[in-house]
Amino acid sequence: MNVIDLGSTVRDKITGFKGIVTSRAVHMNGCDRYWVQPPVDKTGKTVDGAWFDVVTLETLKVPKIIIEEQNLTKKPGGFPSRQK
């Protein structure tokens, strides 16, 4: 099974649609799909994303996720992640 990390920038090989993977749907029949959200357009409006089969996507960029350990005695919460 080909797994794409959430937050990766991808391109659909068939349509050329580019964007960031924000969600993954795992199906029992093995047809895993990813929601690809394109960047906002030139006017600043949000463009609709779309679902794509994993086999049609190619990864262009993988994000670097950094997890920082917090002192849990001083702050509530767990281990946040942030992109660099």
Which is nearest to 9 in space by CA: 23, 22, 20?
Answer: 20
**pLDDT above 90 as % of the chain:** 52
Task: Sort 10 into a burial class: Cβ within 10 Å, 0-12 / 13-18 / 19+.
Answer: buried
pTM for this entry = 0.71
Strands (E), the chain: 9-12, 18-25, 33-37, 50-53, 57-61, 65-67, 81-83
pLDDT tens for each residue of 44-83: 999 899 999 999 999 999 887 644 444 445 555 555 555 5
Pure H helices in the chain: none
Distance from CA of residue 48 to its chain's centroid? 15
pLDDT digits (tens, 9 = 90+) for 20-43: 999 999 988 888 999 999 999 899
